[in-house]
Amino acid sequence: MSAALFEPLTLRSLTIPNRVWMAPMDQYSAEAAGPKAGVANDWHFAHYASRATGGTGLILVEATAVSPEGRISPADLGIWNDTQAEALGRIAGFLKEHGTVPGIQIGHAGRKASTRRPWQGRGPVGEGEHGWQPVGPSPVAFAEGYTVPTELTTEGIEEIVGQFADAARRALAAGFQILEVHGAHGYLIGEFLSPHSNRRTDAYGGSFENRTRLALEVVDAVRAVWPEELPVFFRISATDWLGEQGWTVDETVRLAALLREHGVDLLDVSSGGNGGPADIPVGPGYQVPFAARVRAETGLPVAAVGMITESAQAEKIVANGEADAVLLGRELLRDASWARRAARELGAETHAPAPYAWAI
């Protein structure tokens, strides 16, 4: 018996051993200040290592900030200096050694930066809590009670594009084999995409072409320093769930085609996260149709996310051609060995370290 979920997938010259992937999920567990600010620690190592030994084919390390101001919270990981890259390299090396492809998501939080860790109540943090003034496409706060961001100048935008390229160089030096650009969930790139958060009247606002300009500039900058033989992913919110006042699925399909032309190899399709009175019909696999539409209309490989919890459900998504892979989030927090359990249930195999062979 064969299972589509456990077939390898080759993107460029890189082969990922199966289609069970770990979505980037912030741990909010780094030090906020000092020489170890943003540096991955033992918590991060144990967190990712356990999912690798559990048979996961690809692990995307959580949103890792390209600058101090790009962190979602003061406790986020960063990759704006070599100390951070060296610590991340320890993680990448372990994943690779145990059969899992190491990937990393790099991003900038934009107007959603300088906020509390979720279990501390969210909302902005002040200077006394290592907070800072966030930036964004327009001086429009994410939500009531959040800080109004400083509107980025053209020079500020150019600087951030350069920070993404620098982060990509460090990620490569650390040993990561897949780089994902974070353009989803109302963070900086997603803020530029959506008219809900982007009220600019210059070359970065207004039309679809202008609102997508930053996304394409970042991808071009990253692709210029990332090896031709290794894949680049892009994570997107397929919709803000705000109707025509926000980013739409039709626009996602248009952008997906452009991203493919600019060297993106797979679209990681999520949704929401940009504020507003969004009415989201959450349920099992509720975001899968967005991924399926992008794949059908553009030919760009996609990964599906969102309440994918059962092996049979994941197998159906891949076998039916709705997505090329599934990215698990909370389910992998609940069960680090989900991939090995799913393989047993589907009559397939996945990698495991020799000391765990008794449990295959």
Could you tell me the pLDDT band of residue 357, with boundaries at 50, 70 and 90? Answer: confident
pLDDT single digits (tens) 107-117: 999 999 999 99
Check pLDDT > 80 for residue 180: yes
Tens digit of each residue's pLDDT (9 = 90 or more) over 218-241: 999 999 999 999 999 999 999 999
The pair of three-digit structure tokens given for residue 287, joined into one six-digit string: 């975001």
Catalytic residue among 28, 48, 146, 187: 187
What local confidence, expressed as pLDDT, does residue 1 receive?
59
* Per-residue pLDDT reduced to its tens digit, 48-80: 999 999 999 999 999 999 999 999 999 999 999
pLDDT of residue 60: 99
**Residue 356 is among the residues annotated as catalytic for this protein:** no
**Collapsed DSSP state (helix, strand, coil) of residue 180:** strand
| Region of residue 28 (left: phi > 0; alpha: psi -120 to 50; beta: else) | left
- If we measure between CA atoms, which residue out of 110, 112, 140, 139 comes closest to residue 124? 112
- For the segment 340-349, the average pLDDT, to the nearest whole number, is 96
Rounded distance between C-alpha atoms, residue 268 and residue 233, angstroms: 7
How far, in Å, CA of 149 to CA of 110, rounded? 8
Q: Which CATH superfamily is domain 4-359 in?
A: Aldolase class I (3.20.20.70)
CA–CA separation, 189 vs 191, rounded Å?
A: 5
Predicted model pTM: 0.97
CB 149 within 8 A of CB 186: no
Of 11-25, 41-55, 255-269, 270-284, the least confident:
270-284
pLDDT at 290 over 80: yes
- Number of Cβ atoms within 10 Å of the Cβ of 54: 25
∠ Cα 346 5 178 (to 5°)? 145
* Residue 214 structure tokens: 């930053």
The helix-helix angle for 288-298 and 249-261 (nearest 10°) equals: 50
